[in-house]
């Protein structure tokens, strides 16, 4: 994986000193809260209901055991012994003191980490495919391109006061594991008929209160022009994105209001101009970065045999391991969704354990998934039983990847000052309900996503089943949505009808699941059945 050189290190070190200075001036009253706010946000410090939250960047979701140990140490030293992995492959801590922030950033810098641009109206941490470098179906490893964009977007002098936040995802396979088309810019690295690599640019996707799927504005930007193209796309947005209404300030609104064709025309014009400005790094820089992402030394001739005599182990293998490009290896998913638990939370002890297991069984590498789980990307099949045994003992062995128990949920009203309703208790009750009624396995792949307000941090628009918490005359109310997908078959979910109270929404999810179990045909997932039969049978069952 990528390692800092003296330049990268000097930049994060300078950032720590800058933020210490800014914090000092704030505490001395020389910066107003309004002046300080964007500065702290660009260092990941967000004011929640009860305390500051610190969001730490995990670029493209990749980290090593040393870094995971540090994340655990920070949870112990500065927080309450746990952290929360997020839908953008980051980690956030919920109980941070402003006075400690500089020290935490310094601790992070000591292991080549930071919280730069994890919040605020700037280019955020770049996300990617959590199986990058391991997946059998990728064209290339997408992470070098994400790293190139990370450096380009860090401390960008022109694009640090954008109309609104800006999220970029980079993938390199036709299977989309990163919700690429629901980003402000989604990039898919592709190979053309001449066998050259290029970047397909999708611009103007997003969730939030106005969900949109990004249109492709250029199907093939040559790799040695990718940064220039991104610069052009951002400049058009910085100049013309709406600033009169923060709810209409994302680039998706600009692309929608101009029309994709006109937006594209403006980008191409800016791109033609910028090609003469020398903003593109040399190809040698991309080659340098690629060198850090070479395959680990996979062993040849490993056995693909697995002792499946323990049924619990066999179930976990079937559910939570993914085919790997190297024979004899798999990618193993550590579920952070125990029944009745808080989706995405991990204790310091669990983080230490995951770090040790990565060192012992996965070439020292871990990944954070946007679905708030952890991946050990390169595990020998022969090591799976030992790995599973260690995970089970620590409460990390839930065999529920992509099932109805594998819920994405935002922090909701338990933490967030924007929320209208709690998300976590609803997630807990749903996973408990389905674990108890035994339907999880029968339902198969069923992606359920919960947001506690229309800002949609819990991706409810993209859930096979989505839940949106709203405030109805002072009472929490939950709307049910069906038919969304964040994957390559991307679609936006639709609301079924009137909302439900907290107990009612759990029943409603089970009712919808039962309609699927009744109506499904061979091999259909919940989403496939919904797409075939439409909303009506679900509505009849829910409200009839």
Partner 1 sequence: MADFVSDTDTLIRFRDDEQVDDAAVTVDSFLDQQDASAVRVEPGDDARALIPHLGRLSLVEVNFPAFGDGRGYSSARILREAGYEGELRAVGDVLVDQVAYMRRCGFDAFEPDAALDEGDLETALNRWPEVYQPAADARQPIWAKRHEGVRHA
Q: Kindly determine how many residues on this chain lie close enough to bind partner 1 according to the rule CB under 8 A.
A: 46
Q: Which is nearer to partner 1, 105 or 505 (CB)?
A: 105
Name which position in 80, 239, 518, 532 contacts partner 1 (CB under 8 A): 239
Q: Enumerate residues 276-305 that contact partner 1 by CB under 8 A.
A: 277-285, 288
Name which position in 50, 273, 518, 532 contacts partner 1 (CB under 8 A): 273
Q: Which is nearer to partner 1, 209 or 273 (CB)?
A: 273
Q: How far is the CB of 285 from partner 1 (least distance, A)?
A: 4
Name which position in 4, 20, 38, 106 contacts partner 1 (CB under 8 A): 38
505 and 480 Cβ atoms separated by less than 8 Å? yes
Q: Can you tell me the distance from the alpha carbon of 502 to that of 480, in angstroms, rounded to the nearest whole number?
A: 12
Q: Which is nearer to partner 1, 59 or 412 (CB)?
A: 59
Output the CA angle 406-443-525, nearest 5 degrees.
95
Residue with tokens 């969001």: 55
Q: Can you tell me the distance from the alpha carbon of 276 to that of 284, in angstroms, rounded to the nearest whole number?
A: 19
Q: Give the range of 2-10, 212-220, 350-358, 486-494 binding partner 1 by CB under 8 A.
A: 2-10
Q: Give the range of 34-42, 301-309, 321-329, 343-351 binding partner 1 by CB under 8 A.
A: 34-42
Residue with tokens 């504005």: 217
Q: Which is nearer to partner 1, 288 or 531 (CB)?
A: 288
List of residues 6+ apart from 471 with CB closer than 8 A:
420, 421, 477
Q: Which is nearer to partner 1, 32 or 309 (CB)?
A: 32
What are the tokens at 233? 């796309």
Name which position in 20, 66, 242, 243 contacts partner 1 (CB under 8 A): 243
> What distance lies between CA 457 and its chain's CA centroid?
10
Does 152 sit near partner 1 (CB under 8 A)?
Answer: yes
Q: Which is nearer to partner 1, 10 or 323 (CB)?
A: 10
List of residues 6+ apart from 98 with CB closer than 8 A:
23, 26, 27, 40, 45, 52
Does 137 sit near partner 1 (CB under 8 A)?
Answer: no
Site string for partner 1, 96-135 (x = CB under 8 A): -------------------------x--------------
Q: How far is the CB of 189 from partner 1 (least distance, A)?
A: 18
Q: Which is nearer to partner 1, 222 or 497 (CB)?
A: 222
Q: Which is nearer to partner 1, 25 or 494 (CB)?
A: 25
Short-list 329, 322, 320, 330, CA closest to 397? 320
Does 257 sit near partner 1 (CB under 8 A)?
Answer: no
337 and 343 Cβ atoms separated by less than 8 Å? yes
514 and 541 Cβ atoms separated by less than 8 Å? yes
DSSP labels, 173-184: SSS-SS-GGGSS
Name which position in 1, 75, 132, 162 contacts partner 1 (CB under 8 A): 162
List of residues 6+ apart from 293 with CB closer than 8 A:
1, 2, 133, 141, 143, 144
Does 258 sit near partner 1 (CB under 8 A)?
Answer: no
Name which position in 28, 29, 157, 309 contacts partner 1 (CB under 8 A): 157
What are the tokens at 302? 């490993």
Q: How far is the CB of 32 from partner 1 (least distance, A)?
A: 10
Q: Which is nearer to partner 1, 17 or 137 (CB)?
A: 17
What are the tokens at 231? 């610069």
List of residues 6+ apart from 278 with CB closer than 8 A:
none
Does 33 sit near partner 1 (CB under 8 A)?
Answer: no
DSSP state of 91: E
171 HSE (CA, 13 A, CB side) = 23
Does 265 sit near partner 1 (CB under 8 A)?
Answer: no
Does 161 sit near partner 1 (CB under 8 A)?
Answer: yes
Q: How far is the CB of 272 from partner 1 (least distance, A)?
A: 13
Q: How far is the CB of 171 from partner 1 (least distance, A)?
A: 23
Name which position in 119, 127, 128, 154 contacts partner 1 (CB under 8 A): 154
Site string for partner 1, 3-32 (x = CB under 8 A): --x-xx-xx--x--xx--xx--x----xx-
User: With 0-12 CB in 10 A as exposed, 13-18 as middle and 19+ as buried, what is 33?
Assistant: exposed
Q: Which is nearer to partner 1, 28 or 195 (CB)?
A: 28
Dihedral pair phi/psi, residue 103, rounded to 5°: -65, -40
Task: Return the beta strands (E) in 106-164 as ranges.
Answer: 127-128
Short-list 339, 324, 328, 447, CA closest to 397? 339
Q: Which is nearer to partner 1, 7 or 311 (CB)?
A: 7
Helix 226-240 and helix 251-258, axial crossing angle in degrees, nearest 10: 80
366 and 354 Cβ atoms separated by less than 8 Å? yes
Q: Give the range of 1-9, 130-138, 316-324, 493-501 binding partner 1 by CB under 8 A.
A: 1-9
Residue with tokens 């409810």: 460
What are the tokens at 445? 């792949």
Q: How far is the CB of 13 from partner 1 (least distance, A)?
A: 8
DSSP labels, 467-501: EEEEEETTEEEEEEEE--B-STT-B--EE-SS-B-
Does 225 sit near partner 1 (CB under 8 A)?
Answer: yes
Q: Give the range of 233-241, 317-325, 452-460, 532-540 binding partner 1 by CB under 8 A.
A: 233-241
Cα dist. 340→209, 429, 431 in Å?
A: 28, 7, 6
Name which position in 90, 92, 127, 151 contacts partner 1 (CB under 8 A): 151
Q: Which is nearer to partner 1, 225 or 429 (CB)?
A: 225
Q: Can you tell me the distance from the alpha carbon of 214 to that of 248, in angstroms, rounded to the nearest whole number?
A: 16
Residues forming contacts to partner 1 in the complex (CB under 8 A) are 5, 7-8, 10-11, 14, 17-18, 21-22, 25, 30-31, 35, 38-39, 121, 151-152, 154-163, 224-225, 235, 238-239, 243, 273, 277-285, 288
């Amino acid at each position: 994986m990528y390692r800092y050189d003296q330049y990268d290190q000097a930049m994060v070190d300078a950032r720590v000193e800058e933020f210490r200075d800014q914090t000092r001036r704030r505490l001395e009253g020389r910066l107003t809260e309004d002046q300080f706010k964007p500065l702290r946000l660009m260092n990941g410090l967000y004011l929640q209901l009860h305390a500051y939250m610190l969001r730490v960047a995990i670029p493209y979701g990749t980290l090593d055991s040393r870094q995971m140990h540090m994340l655990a140490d920070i949870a112990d030293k500065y927080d309450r012994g746990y952290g929360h992995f997020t839908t953008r492959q980051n980690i956030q801590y919920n109980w941070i003191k402003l006075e400690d922030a500089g020290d935490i950033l310094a601790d992070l810098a000591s292991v080549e980490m930071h919280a730069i641009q994890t919040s605020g109206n700037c280019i955020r941490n770049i996300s990617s495919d959590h199986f990058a470098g391991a997946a059998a179906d990728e064209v290339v490893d997408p992470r070098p391109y994400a790293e190139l964009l990370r450096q380009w977007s860090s401390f960008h002098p022109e694009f640090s006061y954008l109309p609104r936040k800006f999220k970029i995802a980079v993938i390199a396979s036709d299977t989309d594991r990163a919700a690429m088309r629901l980003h402000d810019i989604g990039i898919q690295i592709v190979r053309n008929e001449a066998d050259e690599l290029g970047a397909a640019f999708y611009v103007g996707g997003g969730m939030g209160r106005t969900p949109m799927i990004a249109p492709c504005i250029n199907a093939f930007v040559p790799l040695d022009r990718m940064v220039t193209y991104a610069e052009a796309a951002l400049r058009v947005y910085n100049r013309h994105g709406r600033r009169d209404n923060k709810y209409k300030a994302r680039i998706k609104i600009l692309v929608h209001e101009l029309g994709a064709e006109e937006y594209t025309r403006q980008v191409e014009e800016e791109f033609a101009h910028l090609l003469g400005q020398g903003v593109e790094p040399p190809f040698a820089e991309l080659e340098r970065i690629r060198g850090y992402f070479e395959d680990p030394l996979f062993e040849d001739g490993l056995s693909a045999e697995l002792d499946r005599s323990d049924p619990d182990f066999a179930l976990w293998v079937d559910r939570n391991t993914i085919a790997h490009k190297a024979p004899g290896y798999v990618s193993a998913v550590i579920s952070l969704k125990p029944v009745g638990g808080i989706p995405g939370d991990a204790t310091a002890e669990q983080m230490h354990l995951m770090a040790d297991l990565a060192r012992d069984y996965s070439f020292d590498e871990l990944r954070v998934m946007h679905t708030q789980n952890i991946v050990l990307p390169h595990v020998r099949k022969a090591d799976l039983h030992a790995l599973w045994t260690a995970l089970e003992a620590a409460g990390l062995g839930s065999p529920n990847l992509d099932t109805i128990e594998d819920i994405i949920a935002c922090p909701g009203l338990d933490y967030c000052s924007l929320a209208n309703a709690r998300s976590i208790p609803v997630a807990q009750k749903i996973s408990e309900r389905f674990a108890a009624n035994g339907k999880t396995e029968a339902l198969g792949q069923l992606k359920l996503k919960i947001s506690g307000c229309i800002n949609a941090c819990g991706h409810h628009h993209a859930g096979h089943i989505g839940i949106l918490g709203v405030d109805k005359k002072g009472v929490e109310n939950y709307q049910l949505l069906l038919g969304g997908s964040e994957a390559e078959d991307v679609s936006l979910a639709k609301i079924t009808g009137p909302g439900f109270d907290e107990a009612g929404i759990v029943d409603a999810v089970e009712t919808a699941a039962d309609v699927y179990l009744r109506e499904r045909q061979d091999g259909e997932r919940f989403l496939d059945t919904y797409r075939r039969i439409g909303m009506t049978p679900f509505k009849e069952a829910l409200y009839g």
